[in-house]
Structure 1
Amino acid sequence: MYNASVRAVLLYACETCPLRVEDVRRLSVFDHRCRRRISVIQWQHHVSNAEIRHRVFGHRDDNPIGVTILKHRLRWLGHVLRMSSQRIPRRALFADSGTGWKKRRGGQCMTWCRGMKESCKGLASVGPSRLPGWGPRDVAI
């Protein structure tokens, strides 16, 4: 029931929007708070989140929210990479900024494409150099 209702709403469209580390942390806190309420465990009981996951879901391997978001994003990336080059999602993914665009002052926000490049760096079989448009000679984003 929890995965079908609460977690589905929590992860709606998470594969397409760029999330900051703070956003993922807040989603994780909300996820753990819901699980503590389901299992009627208060924070004063000093029970770890892994133990609460085990109590709520039993022996089924349930991933933390950050891992689930990464899986959703990689699945979406696979869909986009298999699309034809005329489709709008693929064109939007590999579009570059125009020549007249300027960056804002301060630290730059993590874009979806830059976040996926960071996520794919740790993969053994699929690295950034094996994805189309993300090779070592391509422009760094």
Structure 2
Amino acid sequence: MPAEIRLARASDVDALAALENAVFEADRISRKSFRNMVDSASATVLVAVAQGVVAGYCAVLFRAGSRKARLYSLGAACGSGIGRTLLAAAEDTAAVRGCEELRLEVREDNGRAIGLYEKSGYRRFGRKPGYYADGAAALLYEKPLHLAEPAAIHPKA
């Protein structure tokens, strides 16, 4: 059964923090930061719910006056297909808000995520040495956005 994508709500924060800790070894988003993003007008947090459980999330950040959005984080179990679904929903969310481009950073040693982004049409445009807390470099990617048909994203209600 495919996952339902919906806006995150305050009641999802504990599940988001637990998922973050399970998926990432370092540079994790704190519970407080998730809470702030869920309530922020300059961020959209989407969750993928599969069989009643939060199985993935993505956080997209927006800056006033900018036509570029930033995929701040995407977390899902490897090989579940949820990451690809969330990435498409993040792109739709940014396009609906008037953004023409989605940008992201990814660890240089995260081959699985790099493969997902490149297969999804992202183009590498830079590298930031020492970007992560452990000194790992980040690769910078971007993709132009064109909204054809919005993904089914359900409201917070």
Structures share a fold, TM > 0.5?
A: no
Q: Which structure is larger by alpha-carbon Rg, 1 or 2?
A: 1
TM-score by length of 2: 0.26
Higher relative contact order (CA 8 A, sep 6+): 1
Identify the structure with the greater strand proportion: 2
The TM-score with structure 1 as length reference comes to 0.28
More helix by share: 1
